[in-house]
Amino acid sequence: MSGEAFPFTLSDAEWRSRLSPEQYAILRGHATERPGSCALNDEKRPGRFYCAGCGQVLFVSGGKFDSGTGWPSFTTPEDGAIGETVDRSHGMVRTEVHCATCGGHLGHVFPDGPPPTGLRYCINGIVLRFEPAG
């Protein structure tokens, strides 16, 4: 994110009051939840997944799949909802994904997903809010 300006911004104190400590650690501090620790990994109902930080629609359930990793995984984000940066932490190079509206860290995208995109958006479920369709 390196100084990138986002449409939705808050002060650090506002972020801390808006988010749970775990959400803050991930969205603002680039932490990662334990695999298998979020109920959204098993969510199979039709609906939408929103950023817990700003409410931006990030994914719809039709693109969600079980990757076996322990994190909610998706093949395709909503148009314009996700930004990407290079993550060189932990001695590797990965593509980090963040909310394009608030800049919150969501997870990473990998080129080992199923068709049609071949991508796997591996997302920390605790930073998502799910709303079932209907």
Structure tokens at 128: 């998502």
Question: Which is nearest to 68 in space by CA: 35, 93, 106?
Answer: 35
Q: Is 69 helix (H, G, I), strand (E, B) or coil?
A: coil
The catalytic residues are 122
Residue 42 main-chain phi, psi, to 5 deg: -100, 5
Rounded Cα gap, residues 114 and 24, in angstroms? 31
